[in-house]
Amino acid sequence: MSSPINAGAVIYAKDTSHIAAFYAQVMGFRITHSDAEYAVLESVGFQLIIHAIPPEIAASIAIANPPVRREDSAVKLIFSVASINDARTLAAEAGGELNPPEREWQFQGDRVCDGHDPEGNVIQLRERLR
């Protein structure tokens, strides 16, 4: 661990390396550890763990291509980015998707956009308005 962690989250994934690469590329997290069971990604004060779904459960999970959003989840992770437009391009390159610009909105001084990672986990990105 390179900095004190104030908050964090765990995402269970079928393909940990693909999901870890997505969050590293789109959100700019550093991958500080990676093996077959989990990956640890960090930014200042935040740690994101990508944990492998046990094989017996993962075998029953189908990930569509493109992935279908898991909109019935009780949790949506929020990440700050420097540019939603840049993140939209990076997300598409990494196998995820952000909503188009016409579906963005403003909230508490931020431009906001929902999307999903390569396994359909719903995320929200926020760009600080100047």
Inter-axis angle of helices 84-93 and 16-27, nearest 10: 160
Would you say 119 and 75 are in contact if contact means Cβ atoms under 8 Å apart? Answer: no
Query: Over 60: is that where the pLDDT of 1 sits?
Result: no
Q: What is the domain partition of the chain in residue ranges?
A: 7-128
d(CA 94, CA 10): 19
Architecture of domain 7-128: Roll (3.10)
d(CA 66, CA 50): 20
Instruction: Find the mean pLDDT for residues 28-44.
Output: 96
- The predicted pLDDT at position 4 comes to 82
- The predicted pLDDT at position 52 comes to 97
